């Protein structure tokens, strides 16, 4: 089936050319001094420095985990942080502050960030310019961390960070082509126009070539522990003794499966759902059938998935199934230099 889909994507190549033409025109409208005046396409410059963390391809490069890491480090240095996300796949429209675990209203990634950042305020809006104007009116923040939005030219970024993963080095033709035939939002050469490049190797130990960016960093993921729905910590060694099942609805599920196997966690089954999947009661019933069939004591998922499953807490408990999520942290090599680069953007 996947081969058929990939073959069909080749027929979208003319639309990729059209896409390139359109983004080139848009970029010109925002960068040409004369055209900006004619078409009034000036980027809005925020009173509070905007630090944007994004990527150039569709699919998960792990940028939200990087945003979380940077926010935590800035908070440790007594910086007041606002995080702005589009709230992908949320069912609401407009500008909101995340003040609950309502994934349908705010989206899974903003809720994930809020759960891990008590001392930061998280906002969602599909209109980044309007959202930043609203945040500026509060006069409460030292930095705005914008999760995604590198390609949004309506807002000036004081410091732009592009996050890549191993797909950047892939020889797959779809990793070299622009949308809709390929997976790229921008040509690969565009990464050198941004202030900083983070190669997120996640759990990969392979040595990869430095893209020769002027400001290059490497990041890796570390599995810390597992946590259940009551917030109780479960050591990795405990799950190594059990027959477990796992599932997730993320962009690159194979990285999660590799993580569990790498940590010697024996999986009786591994079920994949679509990225940002909205779990329903029938999905819960399916997972419980797998548990019964394979005799698994634990069900393991990701932290992003767990925010979409909290609503089923009682159902899991009644079924006497232990649902746990993997607590992962991102570690950035030479992180202090990156933090200082960000702090240099602070308004005088």
What CATH number corresponds to the domain at position 253? 3.40.50
Specify the pLDDT at position 6.
58
* CB neighbour burial string for 133-155, b if at least 16 within 10 angstroms, e if fewer: ebbbeeeebbbbbbbbbbebbeb
Quote the pTM value: 0.93
Q: Rounded distance, CA 145 to CA 85, Å?
A: 9
Q: Based on the fold, state whether residues 136 and 198 are members of the same structural domain.
A: yes
Q: Based on the fold, state whether residues 73 and 8 are members of the same structural domain.
A: yes
Q: Based on the fold, state whether residues 165 and 93 are members of the same structural domain.
A: yes
Q: Based on the fold, state whether residues 40 and 151 are members of the same structural domain.
A: yes
182 in any annotated domain: yes
- Which two tokens mark 61? 């490069």
Q: Which of 180, 161, 145, 199 has the alpha carbon at shortest distance from 331?
A: 199
Specify the pLDDT at position 35.
76
Q: Which residue segment(s) compose the domain that 258 sits in? A: 222-330
Q: Rounded distance, CA 42 to CA 47, Å?
A: 15
Specify the pLDDT at position 32.
85
Specify the pLDDT at position 8.
76
Residues in the chain: 348
Q: Based on the fold, state whether residues 253 and 197 are members of the same structural domain.
A: no
Q: Based on the fold, state whether residues 281 and 324 are members of the same structural domain.
A: yes
Do you find a cis peptide bond into 180, omega within 30 degrees of 0? Answer: yes
Q: Based on the fold, state whether residues 59 and 169 are members of the same structural domain.
A: yes
Q: Rounded distance, CA 57 to CA 190, Å?
A: 11
348 in any annotated domain: no
42 in any annotated domain: yes
Q: According to DSSP H, which parts of the chain are helical?
A: 2-10, 13-31, 33-39, 63-76, 103-106, 108-116, 128-136, 236-240, 253-262, 281-294, 303-306, 313-318, 335-343
Instruction: Give CA separation, 254 vs 176, 204, 268, 284, 339, in Å.
Output: 21, 12, 16, 21, 31
Q: How many domains does the chain have?
A: 2
Q: Based on the fold, state whether residues 159 and 228 are members of the same structural domain.
A: no
Q: Based on the fold, state whether residues 24 and 64 are members of the same structural domain.
A: yes
Q: Rounded distance, CA 35 to CA 74, Å?
A: 38
Q: Based on the fold, state whether residues 146 and 228 are members of the same structural domain.
A: no
91 in any annotated domain: yes
315 in any annotated domain: yes
Q: Based on the fold, state whether residues 15 and 143 are members of the same structural domain.
A: yes
7 in any annotated domain: yes
Residues in the chain predicted with pLDDT less than 50, given as ranges, are 1-2, 4
């Amino acid at each position: 089936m996947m081969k058929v889909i990939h073959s069909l994507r080749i027929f979208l190549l003319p639309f990729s050319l059209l896409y390139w033409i359109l983004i080139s025109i848009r970029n010109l409208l925002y960068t040409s001094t004369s055209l900006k005046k004619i078409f009034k396409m000036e980027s809005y410059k925020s009173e509070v420095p905007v630090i944007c963390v994004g990527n150039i391809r569709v699919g998960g490069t792990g940028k939200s985990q990087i945003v979380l890491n940077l926010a935590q480090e800035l908070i440790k240095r007594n910086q007041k942080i606002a995080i702005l996300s589009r709230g992908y796949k949320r069912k609401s429209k407009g500008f909101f502050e995340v003040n609950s675990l309502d994934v349908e209203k705010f989206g899974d990634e903003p809720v994930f960030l809020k759960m891990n950042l008590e001392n930061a305020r998280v906002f969602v809006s599909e209109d980044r310019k309007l959202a930043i104007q609203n945040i500026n009116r509060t006069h409460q923040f030292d930095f705005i961390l914008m999760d995604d939005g590198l390609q949004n030219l309506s807002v000036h970024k004081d410091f732009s960070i592009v996050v890549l993963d191993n797909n950047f080095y892939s020889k797959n033709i779809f990793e070299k082509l622009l949308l809709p035939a390929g997976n790229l939002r921008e040509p690969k050469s565009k990464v050198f126009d941004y202030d900083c490049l983070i190669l997120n190797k996640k759990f990969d130990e392979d040595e990869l070539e430095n893209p020769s960016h002027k400001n290059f960093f490497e990041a890796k993921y570390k599995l810390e522990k597992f946590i259940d729905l009551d917030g109780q910590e479960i050591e990795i060694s405990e799950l190594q003794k059990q027959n477990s099942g796992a599932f997730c609805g993320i962009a690159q599920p194979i990285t999660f499966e590799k993580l569990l196997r790498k940590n010697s966690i024996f999986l009786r089954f591994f079920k994949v759902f679509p990225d940002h999947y909205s779990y329903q009661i029938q999905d819960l019933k399916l997972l419980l059938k797998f548990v019964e069939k394979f005799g698994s004591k634990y069900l393991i998922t990701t932290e992003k998935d767990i925010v979409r499953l909290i609503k089923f807490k009682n159902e899991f408990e009644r079924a006497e199934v232990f649902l746990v999520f993997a607590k992962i942290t991102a570690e950035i090599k030479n992180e202090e230099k990156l933090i200082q680069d960000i702090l240099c953007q602070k308004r005088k």
